[in-house]
Chains A and B, each alone.
Chain A
Amino acid sequence: MSTTLQEQIASPERGVKKNYLNADHTIASWLLTTDHKRIAVLYLVSISIMFFIGSIAAAFVRFELTSPYGQWLTSEQYNKMFTAHGVVMIFFFLIPSVPAVLGNFVLPMAIGARDLAFPRLNLLSWYFFVIAAVLMLATLAMGGIDTGWTFYTPLSSLYSDTQVTMALVAAFIAGFSSIFTGLNFVATVHKMRAPGMTWFRMPLFVWGSYATSLVILLGTPVVAITLLLVLFERVFKIGIFSPELGGDPVLFQHMFWFYSHPAVYIMILPAMGVVSELFACFSRRRVFGYEFVAFSSLGIASLGFLVWGHHMFLSSQSVFQGVVFSLLSFMVAIPSAVKAFNWTVTLYKGSVHLTTPMIYALAFLGLFLIGGLTGLYLASMDTDVHLTGTYFIVAHFHYVMVGGGILGFLGGLHFWWPKMFGRMYSEFWGRLSALIVFVGFNFTFFPQFMLGYLGMPRRYHLYAFAPEWQFYNVLSTAGATVLGVGFLLPAFYLTASLVKGKKAGPNPWGAKGLEWENADSPPITENFERIPIVTGQVYDYDAEEDSRLIRAELDDHERRDKAHLPGEH
């Protein structure tokens, strides 16, 4: 391996350029790699498979709900479907998506490092992920679980006779996978920044990933312990959460949400970081209020730990507790609002390029606004009473986690794809599928707000007592079909781009940032020929200049066209 490295550095021009992808072709070189970029690719493949599986479960759920009587499944099977959907999507797609794929690939390069601080820990993280994923899929194959991804006790500990034990073990292991990633990021950001890369020269994606890593480090151990306790109660009948055994069922909710609310930020903060990059690059502007946006990430990360009780207004926690949690929940909304305003104003006097990633960023903004604003209904105790436990919640968190998390991920994936694989994908298909996703998404989830307000509880299989809900359910399923197409398209055109996409070159977007300006596409195994020295500010774009160039180019075309048609004037 080291010889190839030296070759790469010594003679980049001889024959086919060496890069991290063609440095070595053996399977072992992939499975034993410690290269953060290769691990990112491994993660990309694994989470894509999990996303596909999670989507199939979602399709079953949506199909069942087209009739008040259900379609194919028994209620037991239905419950297993939505649980599979939730567990797979949250633990095995959303949480690792941006950090483990985009973060892994981009973060070291963006701060001018050759790799993460602990490359072998990084590989171990992927192995833990794979073990957990395989275990979880085995759980599903062996009959699945029916508790919902929330594993509420005592349903999960004493009452469900499905494969809960194994699922808990899988989730526990998956937790460690993300702890390792978080640990790595924190150490890397602190210790491995290139000379001149001060904290306030770090791209906002790095800030977002850093904040996320702190949340992962502080939160994940708590949920891991919690799941372990459920397991003890389930297997050894030690009373912790079940009143029958002398436990307290509400305690579980406290411990679970102490992690799982921040987990929402694990899914959304890095996506916000991605979107900051996209807004800056494709408006050719420094992100407006860079410091505010950076600190808002940290604000969200820390306040995010103090609001878990908003999931429990009706759980029989004290009213006073509820008041405090409600107030804090309103406050955590403010930094998110600040970000939305700053992104919007970043467009002002920019030079906006409506590329595929930018369309995703704008779609993110729209959906995240709706997701955030509908959060107000749930932070507010009174309105929460009628909405909690209904489809309103389902719609809200899909707007945040899909509209925010997945769109951010897709935007970032399309942005860094040429960097990762050195090829451009079809802009036409890219833009088209971004639009399909946006439209399909709204048709899927907006009707669910209506259903929730009308009183349809989530996790309901049959609703024959309220056939008036069918219209919205059918609408939602129709939307989900469109959304599915939108999610499937990238699998095709991105794969196709690997073979016949045109060469991207080091910086196809004209973006600023070390990974674009100082590294090849795809980068060499060591990322940079020599460690870059940072002298300028972050996002050193010039929208005026950019637009002038583009106008000149347009004029040029016009002049040439005129030259071709001399008879015209």
Chain B
Amino acid sequence: MNLFRGLPIYPEPASENALRYDLLFWTITLLSFFFFVLVGGLALYFVAKYRSGSNVVRSNPMDHHTGLEILWSGIPILLALAVFAWSTNNFVNHQRRMPKDALEVFVIGKRWMWHLQHMNGIRENNELHVPVGTPVKMTMISQDVIHAMYLPDFRAQFHVVPGRYTELHFTPTKVGRFKMLCAMHCGTKHSEMVGFVHVMEKAEFARWLENGGNRNIPVALDMKERGAQVWAEKNCGNCHGDSDNVRGPSLAGLMGSKRQMTDGTTVLADRTYVRDSITAPWRQITQGYRAEMPEYSNLTEPDILALTAFIESLTKPSGEAPADALSPRDKTRPLTSADDNVTDIANKYGKPVVGQQQLGGSRK
């Protein structure tokens, strides 16, 4: 596993508040760094200079100095007051001041999932769709223990308490998918009480609302189109391109051809072969490659059939055809941003990301 890939050093600033927050955060960091280096550096310097036996002047050491004490209490007090004032202003006038005309979302925390409900009645579980650039206000309550709604990329958090409503607001500034976590220990599956906020373009969000909160418009797709959709969702194109490359063989012209396997056998690439290659790729490995393809054993049969149809349509690259066959998304998934939801991630990793109940009872 490539541990270093995309090593993050700060959380994405994805809300109107994030930059305001980060400015204060890094200011405090700078101050802390200064004091750390000052005191630590001084201590090391003194240790080096006044090592026992070193030949330096030690006469007339003073062992107290009221002026100095006042100075080094006074400066930190002033700095602390400044940071306090800044931070309190941010908190009182921004974090905790609820916007007037915000999009209202009602949140119910429950072990171990988030129920969310929009004003117009659309309900979501562990996912929230909101438009970019619009203030969103959450009114929250817990059905059991205390939870905390935590949106790190928006720098927003507040406890979700049983028996009383609490509030939280944020204004997303970036389109994309952002974490929505529970940050208050709530029992066994605390770490599975997670989901995502999907921030969409305004127009896209409007269409999403109109469509009853469903990300996919049910249009009749032909097998090939549906196949292309699955292909895109599963990112098969990451490894399989127009021609063979290090990550994977090209599938263009695959169907009906003879394939050379690492175990020496030759196999005819028919539908069964393609199906096996997808659901159990490790069983037989194509010559020149290793068993690097993830197994997609949880695809549904209709999707596998559709994929097969799509692969069948991939002809040897003769020019234009495959390129636009690979991007039929616009036509079939008009509503969503390109990001995965909880279920997709689970599929991608082949292991459940979140508790079983979330996987089942996903969005409506």
A contacts, CB < 8 Å to B: 69, 75-76, 79, 146-148, 150, 152, 154-155, 159-160, 242-244, 248-250, 283-292, 313-316, 319, 322-323, 326-327, 330-331, 333-334, 337-338, 340-345, 347-354, 362, 365-366, 369-370, 373-374, 376-377, 379-383, 385-386, 388-390, 450, 453-455, 457-466, 468, 470-471, 474, 543-544, 546-547, 550-551, 554
Contacts and interface: CB of A to CB of B under 8 A. Distances in A.
B90 A314 contact: no
B307 to A, nearest CB: 25
Interface string B154-166: 0111110111101
Contact of B179 (A155, A287, A349, A455): A455
Nearest to B196: A465
Contact of A465 (B21, B57, B69, B194): B194
B331 interface: no
A155 B182 CA distance: 14
B181 A470 contact: no
Given A249-B163, A465-B354, A459 B185 contact: yes
Given A79-B187, A316-B166, A455 B181 contact: yes
Contact of B187 (A155, A314, A460): A155
A333 B88 contact: no
Q: Which of A288, A365, A462, A543: most chain B CB closer than 10 A?
A: A462
B58 to A, nearest CB: 4
Given A155-B145, A390-B183, A547 B52 contact: yes
A350 B64 contact: no
A349 B61 contact: yes
A244 B145 CA distance: 10
A366 to B, nearest CB: 6
Contact of A376 (B50, B80, B161): B80
Nearest to A287: B63
Contacts of A160: 187
Contacts of A248: 163
Given A455-B11, A465-B353, A547-B52, 16 more contacts: A152-B185, A154-B146, A159-B144, A288-B63, A289-B65, A290-B64, A322-B91, A337-B73, A350-B46, A351-B51, A376-B83, A381-B88, A457-B191, A465-B196, A474-B3, A546-B52
Interface stretch (B33-41, B202-210, B214-222, B248-256): B33-41
A353 B52 contact: yes
Contact of A450 (B9, B155, B162): B9
B349 A351 contact: no
B39 A389 contact: no
B144 A389 contact: no
A148 B185 CA distance: 8
Contacts of A474: 3
Nearest to B61: A349
A369 B88 contact: no
B246 interface: no
Contact of B59 (A330, A348, A544): A544
A297 B145 CA distance: 38
Interface residues of B, number: 97
30 contacts: A152-B146, A155-B187, A159-B145, A242-B162, A285-B63, A290-B64, A292-B64, A334-B77, A344-B42, A350-B50, A351-B58, A352-B51, A353-B52, A365-B40, A369-B35, A369-B40, A370-B36, A373-B32, A382-B95, A383-B21, A386-B156, A453-B10, A454-B10, A455-B153, A457-B150, A457-B183, A462-B192, A464-B353, A471-B3, A550-B53
Nearest to A470: B3
A373 B46 contact: no
A369 B51 contact: no
Nearest to B349: A464
Contacts of A154: 144-146, 162
A147 B11 contact: no
B52 A351 contact: yes
Contact of B55 (A69, A76, A326, A551): A551
A337 B73 CA distance: 7
Nearest to A250: B161
Interface string B293-337: 000000000000000000000000000000000000000000000
A122 B333 CA distance: 74
B150 A389 contact: yes
Given A314-B148, A362-B47, A547 B39 contact: no
A471 B7 contact: yes
B176 interface: no
B117 to A, nearest CB: 21
Contact of A337 (B76, B86, B96): B76
B305 to A, nearest CB: 29
Interface in B167-186: 179, 181-186
Nearest to A83: B185
Contact of A382 (B88, B164, B179): B88
Contacts of A334: 73, 76-77, 80
B8 interface: yes
B145 A463 contact: no
A466 B179 contact: yes
A91 to B, nearest CB: 18
Nearest to B65: A289
B161 A348 contact: no
A291 B47 CA distance: 23
B87 A383 contact: yes
Given A146-B188, A159-B111, A316-B161, A454 B152 contact: yes
B28 A314 contact: no
B190 interface: yes
B345 interface: yes
Interface string B272-292: 000000000000000000000
B100 interface: no
B93 to A, nearest CB: 10
Given A326-B84, A385-B95, A147 B158 contact: no
A283 B50 contact: yes
Nearest to A341: B72
A353 B25 CA distance: 39
Nearest to B148: A389
Contacts of A465: 179, 194, 196, 342, 345, 353-354
B186 A155 contact: yes
Given A285-B61, A455-B11, A369 B46 contact: no
Contacts of A459: 185, 190-191
A333 to B, nearest CB: 6
A378 to B, nearest CB: 10
Contacts of B90: 381-382
Contact of A468 (B6, B55, B76, B156): B6
Given A146-B188, A373-B32, A376-B83, A315 B179 contact: no
Interface string B202-240: 000000000000000000000000000000000000000
A345 B150 CA distance: 43
B261 interface: no
A554 B53 CA distance: 8
B83 A380 contact: yes
A155 B185 contact: yes
Contact of A369 (B36, B60, B182, B342): B36
A423 B337 CA distance: 70
Nearest to B75: A337
Contact of A352 (B32, B35, B47, B352): B47
B126 to A, nearest CB: 10
A291 B64 CA distance: 9
B122 interface: no
Contacts of A373: 32, 35-36
B92 interface: yes
B328 to A, nearest CB: 28
Contacts of A342: 69
Nearest to A553: B53
B14 to A, nearest CB: 11
A466 B196 CA distance: 11
B351 interface: yes
A338 B43 contact: no
Contacts of B353: 462, 464-465
